[in-house]
Amino acid sequence: MNEKELLNEIRTLSKRLDKPVRFMEVCGTHTVSIFRHGIRQLLPKNVELVSGPGCPVCVTDDTYMDKAIAYAKFGDTIIATFGDMLKVPGSTSSLEQAKAEGADVRIVYSPLDCLDIAKDNPDKKVIFLAVGFETTSPTAAALVVAAKEAKISNLYLLSAEKLVPPALETLIADESVKVDGFLLPGHVAVVTGLHPFRFLQEKHKIPAVVSGFEAEEILRAITFLLNMKVNNDAKLINAYKTVVKDEGNPVARSITEKVYEKADATWRGMGIIPKSGLRMREEFSTFDIEKVLPLTVNPLPKTTACRCGDVLKGVITPFKCPLFEKACAPENPIGPCMVSVEGVCAAYYKYGRASFMFE
């Protein structure tokens, strides 16, 4: 079916629902695509899409950012990071502010760029900020392996890699979060395959669909979710078979597992989630800056009306945050949800003004 036919099918199925349904798109790329194509506005009123914690920059907590900023202020360090980390607020500052004050903070486009930076600056500790989900952890792991093979001894990682399935488990257990089905991230499933998400069907009886990112793919995924709700069914459906295989990418998972092991991790707005993060194994500890140069930070408590944590859980939309579009905007982000291009608030700010009529 084409997009028009899929929309007609969605409208037909929505009339068979006995109550409104709420589906969560987990991935930030889905959020942007949904807005860019106007999908949210085209859905029947009893079919709601809500955004989840699918932006790795957004879920990175203050403690991590305070550590990154502290390392940046050492006289012999170079911080290498993707650009969307610069404005993420810590408890009192940001990397952008540290850079303005003289810290050596450099934007990279691939983790492997750090190899050349380390080679060109042998008297500096080059620290890569490894932030991401299952999609990016293999490249961070590959950087460590490459550095070890090249005998580069001044390259380190400050890791905050996270795993999506444990976060979904936490969301389901949270009584403030009401979700009837999940639109699962295709990028993550490319690496993980379907197995890590089977608990949604087997344990919780919640419909879930792995989807691509084009309008037609998203609409088809919503059709699958509605069909399951109408028929009181719960399956895990792979609607992105051209890219996602049941077994995922064994090579990518293998290099991640070689370097990393599961560990508890702190998610902004969600607290500590058991076994939801990755830390470097002992045999690679010489590349772990927290092992080589440990430091303790004590994030200062914030008094702010920012509701980024509730936005990340899908409890509210950004329109319900009192700072959205007022004090908080892309040029002056108060919370990390407004920083990254995949951040929920950033997507709502750029594309979602027409949705005010639906709020």
pLDDT tens profile 43-59: 999 999 999 998 888 99
Query: Phi and psi at residue 293, in whole multiples of 5°?
Result: -135, 70
Using alpha carbons only, how large is the chain's radius of gyration in Å? 21
- Average pLDDT for 138-158: 97
pLDDT at 68 over 70: yes
Q: Give the CATH superfamily of 3-55+172-238.
A: HypD, alpha/beta domain 1 (3.40.50.11750)
pLDDT at 172 over 50: yes
* Residues of the chain above pLDDT 70, percent: 97
- The angle subtended at Cα 304 by Cα 298 and Cα 305, nearest 5°, is 145
CA distance 95 to 82: 11
pLDDT at 334: 87
Mean pLDDT over each residue of the chain, to the nearest integer: 93
CA distance 265 to 272: 5
pLDDT at 304 over 80: no
pTM of this structure: 0.91
Task: Output 75 or 125, whichever has higher pLDDT.
Answer: 125
pLDDT at 358 over 50: no
- Average pLDDT for 128-137: 96
Residues of the chain with CATH 3.40.50.11750: 3-55+172-238
How many Å is the maximal CA-CA distance in the chain?
Answer: 67
Q: Which amino acid, residue 345?
A: C
Helix (H, G, I), strand (E, B) or coil at 178: coil
pLDDT at 302: 67
- Average pLDDT for 101-124: 97
- Average pLDDT for 104-127: 97
CA distance 95 to 73: 10
Asked if 347 and 32 touch (Cβ cutoff 8 Å), the reply is yes
Give every CB contact of residue 282 below 8 A, 6+ residues apart in sequence: none
Asked if 281 and 260 touch (Cβ cutoff 8 Å), the reply is yes
Tokens of 170: 């936490």
CA distance 30 to 35: 9
CA distance 244 to 213: 13
Q: Which fold has domain 57-163+249-292?
A: Rossmann fold (3.40.50)
Residues of the chain with CATH 3.40.50.11740: 57-163+249-292
- Average pLDDT for 182-206: 97
